[in-house]
Amino acid sequence: MKKIITLLLTASLISCNKDNEKADGYGNFEATEVTISAEANGKLMTFSVEEGNILDANAKVGLIDTTQLYLNKQQLIATKNTISSKSQNVLSQNSVLQEQLKTTLIEQKRIQNMFAENAATQRQVDEINGKVNVLKEQIKSVGTQNAPIANEAQSIDVQIDKINDQIQKSKIVNPIKGTVLAKYAEPNEVTAFGKPLYKIADISEMTLRVYVSETQLPQLKTGQKVTIKIDSGTEMKSHAGTVSWISSSAEFTPKVIQTKEERVNLVYAVKVTVKNDGSLKIGMPAEMWIK
């Protein structure tokens, strides 16, 4: 009987000790998750992504079929070449007219000098002036003919640039360095614009979102070092953390944090950045200790 009483007393003391040592905040780990979606329509020719893979930023991880885009581009290039040949023909006419105008202007100057010395008639002056004016009008007319051809060629260039952009977007490029959390597609499947392909997050550094009461706020400031503890078997494993953000407005305690009575209290959200040694997972519960 004495032994049983001793055991109960010891358990009571241990329980009291635990109650006295409460964490300053409770929360769960989170990370910025990015869902990568297709930017083109077509068949997935290649897709080298697996859950758990660590991908570098700007790494090429897949390709959507670009056959039709390539054929459309070749067709536009052929059309542009045809338009360019028309433009070259117009420009060659313009060159001939420019040479004729150059020669006629020399002749005009000569006749004007002769007329000044009474060696040429007014009729000759009028004829050469008329010839110059005709050539200038012809050159202007040729330039007008070439304008729509140049605009058509420019329109083709815009269409080619558009296809080049679509071809570029058919290449699946990983935007950030991180770990693949989920995979939603397989090679040879047909995908569409906006369809999710995989989800990735940088979990090398995790964020613990905890909630503290108003009385605890004076003890916290941005950049402050705190201790983060997670469950690890029968003991708690500690990690160093840094307060990165403190909410400026209060909110009701989330239901998953404390008991029903404590959930009606107003608290402030705090984010703590923690270096991940591989043991921290998204959604994992943790405690924050200020001291």
pLDDT tens for residues 89-124?
777 777 888 888 888 898 889 888 888 888 888 888
- Nearest alpha-carbon partner for 94 in 56, 46, 149, 49: 149
Helix (H) or strand (E) holding 275: strand 266-275
Report the mean per-residue pLDDT for the chain.
86
For 20-34, 163-177, 214-228, which range has the lowest pLDDT when averaged over its residues?
A: 20-34
- Other beta carbons within 10 angstroms of residue 170's beta carbon come to 19
Q: What is the distance between the alpha carbons of residues 265 and 260, in angstroms, rounded to a whole number? A: 10
pLDDT of residue 17: 38
Say what the pLDDT of residue 262 is.
53
Structure tokens given for 11: 């358990």
Phi, psi of 282 (to 5 degrees): -65, 130
Give residue 257's pLDDT: 55
pLDDT at 141: 77
* Cα 80-139-123 angle, rounded to 5 deg: 165
Q: Is pLDDT of 1 > 70? A: no
| Per-residue pLDDT at 290 exceeds 80 | yes
Average pLDDT of the segment spanning 207-233? 92
What does the alpha-carbon distance between residue 167 and residue 174 come to, in Å, rounded to a whole number? Answer: 16
pLDDT at 285 over 60: yes
The Cβ of residue 57 has, within 10 Å, a number of other Cβ atoms equal to 11
Mean pLDDT is lowest, of 15-19, 66-70, 150-154, 224-228, for 15-19
**Host H or E run for residue 105:** helix 67-116
Beta strand residue intervals within 15-120, DSSP E: 25-30, 33-37, 42-47, 54-55, 60-64
Q: Which is higher by pLDDT, 84 or 257?
A: 84
Determine what percent of the chain is predicted with pLDDT higher than 90.
53
Task: Give the separation between CA 67 and CA 64, rounded to whole angstroms.
Answer: 9
At 6, the pLDDT band (50, 70, 90 cuts) reads very low
Is residue 19 very low, low, confident or very high in pLDDT (cuts 50, 70, 90)? very low
More confident call, 290 vs 258: 290
* pLDDT value at 3 more than 50: no
Residue 256: per-residue pLDDT: 55
Residues 45-104: pLDDT tens digits? Answer: 999 999 999 999 999 999 999 999 999 999 999 999 888 888 777 777 778 888 888 888
Task: Identify the bridge partners of residue 212 per DSSP, sorted by sequence position.
Answer: 268
User: With bands split at pLDDT 50, 70 and 90, how would you rate the model's confidence at 230?
Assistant: very high
Q: What is the pLDDT of residue 11?
A: 35
Query: Which pair of structure tokens corresponds to residue 86?
Result: 């028309």
The terminus-to-terminus CA distance of the chain in angstroms comes to: 41
